[in-house]
Amino acid sequence: MTTATTLKLNLGPQHPSTHGVLRLILELDGEKILSCEPDIGYLHRGMEKMAEGLTYIQYLPTVDRIDYLAGCFYSELLCRSVEKAMNVELSERVKTIRVILLELNRIASHLLWIGAFLMDLGAISPFFYAMREREMILRYFEKLTGQRMMYNYFVFGGVRSDIDYLEEIEEIIKILPSKIKDYEKIITDNPIFLRRTKGKGVLEQEVAFNNSITGVNLRASGINYDLRCSDYLYRDFDFSPVVLEGKDSWTRYKARILELKESLKIIGQGLEKLKSNEKFEQNLINPLTVKLPEGEYYNEIEAPRGLASIYIKSTGGDKPYRLKWRTGSYYSVNMLRHLLVGEYLNDAIAIAGSLDIILPEVDK
């Protein structure tokens, strides 16, 4: 309903703060948003259709690219589906290695979010500080896997090689808590930051629930739903999910900061486990003969941007008959439709930023 007094604004697909190529069709009255219509698909690479033409091992290297900031989680999902379907048990050490790498990846992802969110709010320094710490993690991944983002480190039945350079992880978990303290000093109680995030973008429990919001966004609305609690990989780890009651942008920020600390705790426990269990054994599946028995397979995991899951329908061949991904950001993008209405343009950017939307993960 465009009238002469309203302004229709295409925010994106090329825009500095849409974190990729999201297009928001906004209707503005002055700077007040009357309606918002997210338009996605500018980064669609056909990840799901592609799977139907590739064998499982051919498909495995590509799944990291679903979410370039947290690739491990998607490798893990595909590996897990194959392992469960073929009844392969992982050895204890491999499980621990996977948990450590997943959590490191989660930390890297959250750090980038903190930087990008503050960049959306107009503060430049936190971005570089967060990138500096993320760089330590990426350097470690580079050393271990040869890649900074698309690790392709998990394979069916195990990992590519035994974990190494543990002293670097120890260094990371030693340094990060003090750096997180620094972030909190410069960000958390900053009056301008508080004004722009407290009470902004309130996500009510019911709305979040009805729109399938998961992950930190849901937990910051006061719903205790963390898949890691029931995940078999995390069974022997002692941690508590971060659940906060605030429902607004600020709480989502705080929840991610707290989650960083939880992840560090998990990694610390993982390192202890590795030290007590030196024997590296794997139950590798020969990738050339992977055939999933006929049937449907569903697996899920707690990714940094919410619940990620994979659904595979197999007819018994060496390729999936149908493969479907479920990713967290996809549902967060949909929330923009409700959250942005009635806000001013520059608050809208802050709210959209607080939901942690990553476009490759939305479009797949």
Partner 1 sequence: MNYLYHLYMEFLANYNIPKLFGDITFYILPFCILALALLVVVLALVLIERKLLGWLTQRKGPNRVGLWGVLQTLADAFKLLIKENVTPDKADKFLFNLAPILVFIPAMTVLGIIPYSSEFSFVNTSTNVILYLILVAFPILSIFLGGWASNNKYSLLGGMRAVAQVLSYEIPITFVVLSVVTLASSMNMTGITLAQYSKTGLFGWFCFPCILGFIIMFICILAELNRCPFDLPEAESELICGYNTEYSGMRFALFYLTEYALLFVNAIFLSIMFLGGYLSPFGVYLSNLFCANMHTAQILVYFEQAFWLILKASLIIFVIIWIRATLPRLASFDLLKFSWAILLPLSILNLFAVVIYKFISGGAVCVLS
By CB under 8 A, is residue 198 in contact with partner 1? no
122 vs 146, which CB is nearer to partner 1?
122
- Could you give the angle at which helices 166-183 and 249-276 cross, rounded to 10 degrees? 160
Residues in binding contact with partner 1, number by CB under 8 A: 30
Cβ-count burial 237-248 (b if 16+ within 10 Å, e if not): bebebbbbebbb
Are 28 and 34 contacting, i.e. CB atoms less than 8 angstroms apart?
yes
Residue with tokens 């590996």: 79
16 vs 87, which CB is nearer to partner 1?
16
Q: Which residue from 247, 288, 276, 361 is spatially nearest to 82, judged by alpha carbons?
A: 288
How many CB atoms are located within 10 Å of the residue 301 CB?
A: 20
344 DSSP assignment? B
Scanning 103-111, 152-160, 271-279, 338-346 for contacts with partner 1 by CB under 8 A, the matching segment is 338-346
Scanning 151-159, 188-196, 217-225, 271-279 for contacts with partner 1 by CB under 8 A, the matching segment is 188-196
Q: How far is the CB of 282 from partner 1 (least distance, A)?
A: 40
By CB under 8 A, is residue 280 in contact with partner 1? no
By CB under 8 A, is residue 35 in contact with partner 1? no
Query: What CA–CA distance (Å, rounded) separates 171 from 180?
Result: 14
45 vs 195, which CB is nearer to partner 1?
195
Are 262 and 269 contacting, i.e. CB atoms less than 8 angstroms apart?
no
> Residue 309 pairs with which residues in a beta bridge?
300, 326
Residue with tokens 């302004």: 7
Scanning 10-18, 87-95, 257-265, 306-314 for contacts with partner 1 by CB under 8 A, the matching segment is 10-18
Q: Which residue from 262, 270, 294, 324 is spatially nearest to 100, judged by alpha carbons?
A: 270
Q: How far is the CB of 21 from partner 1 (least distance, A)?
A: 15
By CB under 8 A, is residue 3 in contact with partner 1? no
Q: Which one of residues 192, 198, 230, 235 is an interface residue with partner 1 (CB under 8 A)?
A: 192
Scanning 7-15, 33-41, 98-106, 300-308 for contacts with partner 1 by CB under 8 A, the matching segment is 7-15
Are 174 and 268 contacting, i.e. CB atoms less than 8 angstroms apart?
no
Residue 49 parent element (H or E): helix 47-51
Query: What CA–CA distance (Å, rounded) separates 70 from 361?
Result: 10
Residue 232 parent element (H or E): none
226 vs 347, which CB is nearer to partner 1?
347
34 vs 223, which CB is nearer to partner 1?
34
Q: Which one of residues 34, 43, 123, 150 is an interface residue with partner 1 (CB under 8 A)?
A: 123
Q: How far is the CB of 237 from partner 1 (least distance, A)?
A: 33
By CB under 8 A, is residue 31 in contact with partner 1? yes
11 vs 57, which CB is nearer to partner 1?
11
Q: Give the HSE-up count for residue 119: Cα atoms under 13 Å, Cβ half-sphere.
A: 16
7 vs 224, which CB is nearer to partner 1?
7
Q: Which one of residues 83, 347, 356, 363 is an interface residue with partner 1 (CB under 8 A)?
A: 347
Residue with tokens 């009357």: 34
Q: Which one of residues 42, 311, 321, 344 is an interface residue with partner 1 (CB under 8 A)?
A: 344
89 vs 184, which CB is nearer to partner 1?
184
By CB under 8 A, is residue 129 in contact with partner 1? yes
Are 296 and 322 contacting, i.e. CB atoms less than 8 angstroms apart?
no
Q: How far is the CB of 106 from partner 1 (least distance, A)?
A: 23
By CB under 8 A, is residue 349 in contact with partner 1? yes
CA trace torsion 154, 20, 310, 227 (10° rounding): 80
Query: Which amino acid would we find at residue 102?
Result: L
Q: Which residue from 297, 275, 328, 261 is spatially nearest to 107, judged by alpha carbons?
A: 261
By CB under 8 A, is residue 190 in contact with partner 1? yes
Residues near partner 1, by CB under 8 A: 7, 9, 15-17, 30-31, 118-125, 127-129, 132, 186, 190, 192-193, 195-196, 344-347, 349
